[in-house]
Amino acid sequence: MGSQFPIDPPIRFTEAKSGHGSIDICMKESRRDAKGGEYELTASLTADIPAGRLSTEIWVTTDQKSQARIRIPVTLEALPKHGQEKDPHPTR
């Protein structure tokens, strides 16, 4: 799924980081033209992620002082691995 938002002037994303240590973020620019760019963000869960509901954010850094960072809220449900119980106190 993708979303497009017209921004004037076009901004460039320079970095993307997860607010949680068990989520790795990969960002790549997939297209750029005179109107701006299109980026693909991929979130991967590390093997040590606890089972249960997790609410965190992805922070994208831009090249614009007026909007230096963009917050993308993320909520997920990590299923227990075989033999692992669900965390009784999930992060909210």
- How do the pLDDT tens digits run along the chain, 92 residues long? 455 555 566 788 999 999 999 999 999 988 888 777 788 999 999 988 889 999 999 999 999 998 899 999 999 998 887 655 555 566 55
Q: 7 in a domain, yes or no?
A: no
The domain total for the chain is 1
Q: 33 in a domain, yes or no?
A: yes
Which residues form the domain of 54?
A: 13-78
Q: What is the pLDDT of residue 4?
A: 57
pTM score over 0.85: no
Q: 61 in a domain, yes or no?
A: yes
Of the candidates 15, 91, 29, 92, the one whose C-alpha atom is nearest the C-alpha of residue 58 is 15
Q: How many CA atoms lie within 13 A of 2 on its CB side?
A: 9
